[in-house]
Amino acid sequence: MDKNLSSHNNEAHNAFRILKKPGELNKQEVLRTLDSFETYLKRLCKSITKRTPKRNFIYQWIFTHEFEEKDLDKYCKGNIFAATESLGRIIYKCKEQEITPVFRRLLIDYICDLKEFINYYDKSQNYDWLLMNTNGHISNFYYDLAINAFYEGKPGKHEQEHLALSSSTPFIIRQSIEYKIKRILGINYIELSGKPHKTFANVYFKALRNNKEFYKTRKFDFEVVEKIHSWTHLYIHGGFRSRPWLTENALNCLKELFYSGETSNSQSVSLYAGIEILETDLENLLNKTQESIENELGQDAEIVWLTKPELAYIKNMQNE
């Protein structure tokens, strides 16, 4: 590295330099440079706007792949604010656990991937040291990962397999959403003309939207979940990894959907406490779900139901 680099607005390079040191990392040194980088990002956020953007604005612009030139500022602003908030959670995680090679790579990618967004607002932040940033892994290790996942349920010992698994997180997120929304609806699968139908996720999301008055959710809405589901598509089919703060934000958004614990009735807990319905509404809800599916796929669509939807059932106290 160039020893003549200025220390002014050099937070990104300082963090990168520490993380790229050979051998075992000094955790306190890593945390010190990450804290400095986070402080810089917070200052940058205040220089961009005096008012913190609303969460829906941030989600709108980070979980998108296409935008017009006139919206570039919104796109960059959303990513800067999302990355700043995300870094705080990642630093907390860093304090709790070992900095593994995968975690180290995540932190390096995090700093490098922010270049275009930071330099859009602040060209004085030194990124001259970053000439290129790889966005993928050796494909053979994805195949090795598949073999070990199938037979062992975990990656092999090679570090590249672990990196490949980490980069596959958007695919796992997509699968978890697709499984979850079907089970919230109580649907095992759908048949058309007596054969299993390859039902696209938008059909299920529409059924959730059509019947949202029945559901009491925690701190999330189905529109954001649907946006995250759509966002994963590029990384699954594009052959490259997501920016770390996007994946971290997606995981953070979804934690309430998958929440298990105490329901709004403090006397009860549920594995599916992220979404509640009144017990007395279940039959009506299932009928409305059937109606929504038939409107999308036709009257001959037959739902093969689960024994029970993955919902927390709350008693209607007024009827007792």
**187 with 306, same domain?**
yes
In a domain, 126, yes or no: no
Task: Tell whether 152 and 235 lie within a shared domain.
Answer: no
Lay out the sheet containing 302-305: strands in order across.
195-196, 187-192, 302-305
Q: Is there a domain that residue 230 lies in?
A: yes
Instruction: Tell me the per-residue pLDDT of 36-89, one tens digit each, with 9 for 90 and over.
Output: 999 999 999 999 998 999 999 999 999 998 899 999 999 999 999 999 999 999
Pairing verdict, β 216-217 and 261-262: unpaired
- Specify the pLDDT at position 134: 65
136-161 burial, b at 16+ Cβ within 10 Å, e below that, comes to ebeeebbebbeebeeeeeebbeeebb
Confidence (pLDDT) at 44? 97
Pick from 244, 204, 242: which is nearest to 226 by CA? 204
Residue 135 is predicted with a pLDDT of 66
Measured between its terminal Cα atoms, the distance across the chain in Å is: 73
The verdict on pTM exceeding 0.75 is yes
Residue 8: pLDDT band with limits 50, 70, 90:
low
The confidence band for 320, taking pLDDT boundaries of 50, 70 and 90, is very low
162 lies in the same domain as 177: no
197 with 311, same domain: the answer is: yes
- Residue 136's pLDDT is 63
- Domain span at residue 106 reads 11-121
Asked if residue 195 and residue 144 are part of one domain, the reply reads no
Confidence class of residue 133 from pLDDT cuts 50, 70 and 90? low
Residue 77 and residue 96 in one domain:
yes
C-alpha span between 171 and 143 (Å, rounded): 15
pLDDT tens profile 155-180: 999 999 999 999 999 999 999 999 99
Question: What is the pLDDT averaged over residues 225-231?
Answer: 96
What integer pLDDT is reported at residue 192 of this predicted model?
A: 93
Tally of structural domains, the chain: 3
* Residue 259 clears pLDDT 60, i.e. is over it: yes
Check whether residue 283 and residue 173 sit in a common domain: yes
Question: Does residue 112 sit in the same domain as residue 142?
Answer: no
